[in-house]
Structure 1
Amino acid sequence: AMRAVAKEEKCPVVDLHAASVELFNRLGDEGSADLSNKPGDRTHFSEKGARTMVRLVMEQLPKVEPTLRAYVKKDAGGD
């Protein structure tokens, strides 16, 4: 639905859900445990998890809207 609205409105969209699912699948349960606020909670992030989500957005922004590349800091969301 969000892609359809973005297309209709001619607006770029960052699919954070898809990016985060790919990341969590790649890391696995053990590798992603410290990204969650508490065990088994895949919705609320720890500080490290929040910073990781920021990095995902910052990686995707220039891909979906190249004109934003100049405004994205390379260390955005860094530790």
Structure 2
Amino acid sequence: MTPDFIQKAIAICDDKIAKKGEGVGLSFYAFFKNRNDDPALLMQVAQWWIQTHELDHFEKAVKIREMLISDV
């Protein structure tokens, strides 16, 4: 994942947390628009989420944000 994408994903986590609280969950699809305009990036994120970290479909946004920050 590119540093720009990681920063975008962190911002999305921050937004979700601000709107719905610390207990809000999300999936990696939250980082993409409904239309898949970058399948290669989607696959990179899916690999990071599913294969690398073996995360459940929904995870706490706080947890994901911390993981992304440590990847920067």
TM-score interval (norm. to shorter): 0.3 to 0.5
Q: Which has the larger radius of gyration?
A: 1
**Alignment TM-score, normalising by the size of structure 1:** 0.34
Q: Greater relative contact order (Cα 8 A, min sep 6): structure 1 or 2?
A: 2
